[in-house]
Amino acid sequence: MDSMRLEPGSNSICHVIFDLSNRTGEQNKQVLIGSNDPKRPYLDLRLTGICGTAIQVTPAAIRFGELTAGVETVQTLVATNLLDEAVSLRSVSSSVKGVKAEIVESADRSWIIRVTAAPLTAQERLSGGIRLDFSSGAVTVPVVGTATPVIKSVPERITVLSGVSESVDRQAVLSSSDGRAFEILSAELMNAEGTAEFKQLRADRWQCTLSILPASVKQGAAVQVHTSCEDQPEIIIPVETVNE
């Protein structure tokens, strides 16, 4: 407010700043002014209008979906200036671990940005955004994705009944999602008593046979498997107890 005190018959201007970053379409905002006026203690002001897009970015979000661990993946963003005046793209940056962005082509009113997801480890998730800093303002493009393990375990976790005093046997099958051959180099049962043995079923598949003492299973129990796969040298298979 230019002045917080109004004499009879006077006026004061209320200055409102509305940040339109990443907003498009119809907008409706409220500004509530409270005063000691006994007849009208609250004045309800409204900001309404249509927010156009200064810079159009396609696609609106980078969705890598399921990424294969260890494999680099590339997507492309196209940014277009919809304003009448000239706009410059000053820089691009990524807030996502393992993802980089770079300008590969620049024209008078459009830009092409390459977005690259570096090889991830198994079960890693992408979360964050690509920031495009224009002379007219910044635009952030969300980035999402999940790394799919090269080598999968079925089941993904081993369960045993709690309170059982005798050893029980469980099995899991480890196989590569892309058919690549691999070797099991070693396996260790952590935070639990028992043994883990492996048998090769074919070049890309192994069978794991576990003998576990349920009463010994502690928090964080798992089978730690070391493989010859460079993209996934280690696999963790959780071991949990469940009630009957």
- Residue 104's nearest CA partner among 114, 91, 94, 90 is 114
Q: What is the pLDDT of residues 41-96, one digit of tens each?
A: 999 999 999 887 888 999 989 998 877 766 788 999 999 999 889 999 999 999 98
Please, what is the average pLDDT of the chain?
A: 89
Percent of the chain with pLDDT over 70: 95
DSSP-based three-state secondary structure for 214: helix
Q: Which residues pair with 240 in a beta bridge?
A: 159
Taking residues 136-141, what's their average pLDDT?
89
Domains in the chain, CATH or no CATH each:
1-52 (no CATH), 55-148 (2.60.40.10), 151-242 (2.60.40.10)
Q: How many CA atoms lie within 13 A of 169 on its CB side?
A: 5
Q: What is the pLDDT of residues 9-41, one digit of tens each?
A: 999 999 999 988 767 789 999 999 999 999 889
CB 47 within 8 A of CB 28: yes
Taking residues 189-200, what's their average pLDDT?
92
**Rounded distance, CA 45 to CA 27, Å?**
14
Q: How many CA atoms lie within 13 A of 50 on its CB side?
A: 2
DSSP-based three-state secondary structure for 215: helix
